[in-house]
Amino acid sequence: MRPLNFISCAFLLVALCGVHQTSARYCPKRIGIIKYQTASYSQYRTTTYKCGKWYTLWFKPYTCYKLKSYSSYWTTSYTDYKFDYEHCCSGYYGGDCEDINECTINNGRCGHTCTNTDGSYDCSCRHGYVLGEDDQSCVDFDECKTSNGGCVQACNNTAGSYHCQCWSGYSMSDNGTCIDINECLTDDGGCSHSCNNTIGSYQCSCPVGYELDSDNHTCIDTDECSDVHPCDQTCVNQNGSYSCECDHGFVLLSDKRTCKDIDECQANNGGCAYKCVNTGGSYHCTCQPGFMLTSNKHSCVDVDECKKSKGGCDHNCTNTNGSYHCSCNDGYVLGEDKHSCADVDECLSDNGGCTQACNNTAGSYHCQCWSGYMMMNDSTCVDHDECQTDNGGCTQNCHNSVGSYNCSCSNGYDLSSDNHTCVDINECARIHNGGCDHICTNSNGSYYCTCHDGYVLISDNSSCADIDECLIDNGGCTQTCNNSAGSYNCSCLSGYELASDNHTCTDVNECKQFHNGGCDHICTNTVGDFQCTCYEGYVLTDDNSTCADVDECLDKNGRCSQICNNTAGSYQCYCENGYRLDRDNHTCYDIDECHTDNGGCTQSCNNTAGSYQCYCEGGYKLISDEHTCIDIDECKLHNDGCEHMCTNTNGSYQCSCHDGYVLKTDNSSCTDVDECKDENGGCAQTCKNFPGSYACSCLSGFKLMIDNHTCSDINECRTHNGKCAHLCTNSNGSYDCSCRPGYVLNADKHGCTDIDECLDNNGGCTQTCNNTAGSYQCYCFSGYYLASDNHTCDDVNECDVSNGDCEHSCVNSDGSYHCTCHNGYVLENDSFSCADVVECQTDNGGCTQMCNNTIGSYYCSCLNGYELTSNNHICIDVQECTIRTHNCSQQCNELSGGFECSCFVGYQLLEDKITCEDIDECAEFDGGCQHYCNNTDGGYYCTCEDHYKLNKDGHNCTRLSWLEELPQWLRQLLEASFLIFIILSIAGSGTALYYLLFRKWLKSDLSSEKSSISIPMKVIQKDGGFKYKKLKELESDSSTSDTNADEKKKMLN
DSSP state letters, 260-274: EE--GGGTGGGG-SS
> Please, are residues 696 and 681 in contact by the beta-carbon 8 Å criterion?
yes
For residues 741-775, b (16+ Cβ closer than 10 Å) or e, as one string? ebbebbeeebbbebbebbeeeebebbbbbbbbbbe
DSSP secondary structure code for residue 716 in this structure = G
d(CA 888, CA 311): 43
DSSP state letters, 499-556: -TTSS-EEE--HHHHTTGGG-SSEEEEETTEEEEE--TTEEE-TTSS-EEE--GGGTG
Output the CA–CA distances (angstroms, integers) from residue 306 to 309, 311, 324, 742, 935, in the order listed. Answer: 7, 5, 7, 49, 63
| C-alpha of 195 from chain center | 70
d(CA 476, CA 376): 82
Give the chain's length: 1053
d(CA 757, CA 759): 5
> Please, are residues 391 and 409 in contact by the beta-carbon 8 Å criterion?
no
Triad 41, 45, 47: Cα angle to 5°: 165
Residue 57: φ, ψ to 5°: -65, -25
Q: Which helix (H) or strand (E) holds 8?
A: helix 6-17
> Please, are residues 919 and 908 in contact by the beta-carbon 8 Å criterion?
yes
**Burial of 407 (C-beta count, 10 Å sphere; 0-12/13-18/19+):** buried
Q: CA end-to-end span of the chain, whole Å? A: 162
List, in order, residues 6 or more apart from 961 with CB less than 8 Å away: 1006
Number of H helices, E strands in the chain: 7, 94
Q: Closest by alpha carbon to 667, among 676, 658, 656, 675? A: 656
Q: Specify which residues 286 forms β-bridges with.
A: 275
Q: Running along the chain, 1053 residues long, what does each successive block of 10 average in pLDDT?
A: 36 34 36 37 38 35 32 34 49 77 85 87 86 87 85 85 85 81 85 86 83 87 79 82 84 86 86 88 87 88 87 89 87 87 85 85 86 82 87 90 85 84 83 85 84 88 88 88 88 82 85 82 79 86 88 86 87 88 88 88 87 84 88 75 83 83 87 88 87 82 84 81 85 84 86 86 87 83 80 83 84 82 82 84 87 82 85 86 82 85 88 89 88 88 89 88 78 75 60 53 42 35 41 48 51 44
- Give strand ranges (E) for 715-842: 727-731, 734-738, 743-745, 752-754, 768-772, 775-779, 784-786, 793-795, 809-813, 816-820, 825-827, 834-836
> Please, are residues 379 and 354 in contact by the beta-carbon 8 Å criterion?
yes
Output the CA–CA distances (angstroms, integers) from residue 1016 to 670, 964, 992, 1019, 1020, in the order listed. Answer: 163, 21, 15, 6, 8
Q: Sign of dihedral through CA atoms 72, 77, 80, 84?
A: negative
d(CA 942, CA 948): 12
d(CA 100, CA 56): 26
List, in order, residues 6 or more apart from 343 with CB less than 8 Å away: 331, 332, 360, 362, 363
Amino acid at 907: Y
> Please, are residues 803 and 321 in contact by the beta-carbon 8 Å criterion?
yes
d(CA 423, CA 289): 81
DSSP secondary structure code for residue 403 in this structure = T
> Please, are residues 91 and 28 in contact by the beta-carbon 8 Å criterion?
no
**Cβ neighbours of 174 (radius 10 Å):** 5
The CA radius of gyration of the chain, in Å to the nearest whole number, is: 70
Amino acid at 312: G
What's the maximum distance between 2 C-alpha atoms anywhere in the chain? 188
**Burial of 634 (C-beta count, 10 Å sphere; 0-12/13-18/19+):** buried
For residues 321-338, b (16+ Cβ closer than 10 Å) or e, as one string? bbbbbbbbeebbebeeee
Residues 651-695: tens digit of each pLDDT? 778 888 888 888 888 888 888 888 898 898 889 888 988 887 888
d(CA 628, CA 621): 8
d(CA 784, CA 786): 7
Entry pTM: 0.25
**Cβ neighbours of 830 (radius 10 Å):** 11
d(CA 433, CA 452): 14
